[in-house]
Chain A
């Protein structure tokens, strides 16, 4: 249950595992069920002082199980930071299928707006409750989401529009 270079506070690990029944992962931050996501962020902000919005990172994990069944999953890592001396980061991750959406943090942190738009744009994960989910980096008529693993790096695009 760890991210190298990101040592989480003991009380936050306790909060994650006991109150929000997070599963520890062999690598990466603890895995939290999507229904606990908003409540966890609110608790960290209001009770633990994690007031600076950190980051949102979505990554695409396609895989084939032993039975030959294809799973297409996206993992989203969120991070929040405390203010001032001995500042620390708290981070957790969610796992959903590609088609389903993740609850948006925009209601709690306005900074999640652009970050979630960027992840929607590049990875193609939808955020439920986002007021303005448009592409951030690519043109609005772009086809596909480049950071998906099935998007080849040499995909041809017209040089002009």
Chain B
């Protein structure tokens, strides 16, 4: 796909965007906390409460997720979330499969950013087994992570616009546009790994697939197109009066609530906390890069959109910095392991965390020693989406039902990762 990117056109549309954006209320975030343990029987007996089940089959729940809402008129009094509809028992499976067999399984957890899942898993295994990763592989992992972040946030942006309803550019228009741009990244990944989605490109001690000839030029053209069109889409949505009315001041998660719940990632940064594992606890090759972290103070749905869009632009900048300078050297610190049981078994605990598009994605692994063979004794996935969803019982009360859809969309839950 060829698109002419004229730099004058880009700067012109930037100016329009700055002039057209209406001034919004930018006061620091403060959540009106609802009570998740509210006793409905003791609630005002005069009130005519209605119970509304949002989900498990509902387009706005981004998967299978059930939200039981107690409504007084149209106001939400209490919200009880139910998850687990997609529970596949991954953590039990980890006790059966070997270290080598587990990497492709983890692609399916967060199916919107599979690269981060693989990376957190192999990082945990590498620290448990004491395996070094060569610089070229660390660099390539950083690059893949940033490309994946662009793809993940693009999909979220389109889905969020669709959640907010048909008034915003004819329903699924923006969704389809964002999907089309995400395809560019998937094409690039396909050329590198052979798969569009479940890559299996990381292995303990390095990466499996080396960069093909001419790949850098394709990445350049993909991110040029994305950066150019993103300005258009941003103007399309974020200057829309209806969008602003539905997101400003809606679903405020303040910093205290976010930290207490363990929410990290864009939601925490939108609440004004400058916290990003890429900069604050560097892994891969992030210690060689300067990651500019975006924060916002309002903590509402609009602030979360701003933070995520800024993160796409930041990732585009980082990819541009890295793509032409991938260092030479070996891609793995040892030969690829062909048999399942060749990995030695280690005792001990290990933890590795990466900044996924949704926050801190951590893998805590307990090695079993000789009597467990080559599989972990216990493995726990610290899922950022699960922590993010747990804000709903605190945030939703006091909002109307249509706001619940906007808030759920802005949290960006991936149910495959929540339920595991």
Contact = CB atoms under 8 A, between A and B. Distances in A.
B260 A109 contact: yes
A85 B279 contact: yes
Given A111-B387, A113-B390, A4 B128 contact: yes
Given A55-B362, A138-B84, A138-B87, A111 B351 contact: no
Interface stretch (A13-21, A32-40, A46-54, A96-104): A46-54
Given A52-B262, A110-B394, A136-B83, A4 B380 contact: no
Contacts of B349: 3-4, 6, 27-29, 77
Interface residues on A, range: 35 or more
A87 interface: yes
A135 B36 CA distance: 16
Contacts of B241: none
Interface string B11-47: 0000000000000000000000000110000000000
B64 to A, nearest CB: 12
A114 interface: yes
B419 A54 contact: no
Main secondary structure of the interface of B (DSSP, over half): mixed
A137 B280 contact: no
Interface string B406-420: 000000000000011
Given A146-B92, A147-B91, A87 B277 contact: yes
- Interface size bucket, B side? 35 or more
Contact of A89 (B273, B351, B419): B351
A121 B263 CA distance: 22
B260 A77 contact: no
**Max chain A CB contacts within 10 Å: which of B124, B257, B380?**
B380
Given A29-B349, A59-B377, A111 B260 contact: yes
A12 interface: no
B92 A84 contact: no
A71 interface: no
A122 B380 CA distance: 11
A131 interface: yes
Given A83-B259, A110-B390, 16 more contacts: A3-B348, A5-B351, A5-B352, A6-B351, A28-B348, A52-B275, A54-B362, A77-B349, A86-B281, A110-B257, A110-B261, A111-B263, A113-B390, A132-B37, A135-B84, A146-B92
Interface of A: 3-6, 26-29, 51-55, 57, 59-60, 77, 79, 81, 83-89, 91, 109-111, 113-115, 118, 122, 131-132, 135-139, 146-147, 151, 153
Interface of B: 36-37, 83-84, 87, 89, 91-93, 95-96, 123-124, 127-128, 130, 257, 259-264, 268, 273-275, 277, 279-281, 347-352, 360, 362, 364, 366-367, 377-378, 380, 382, 386-387, 390, 394, 419-420
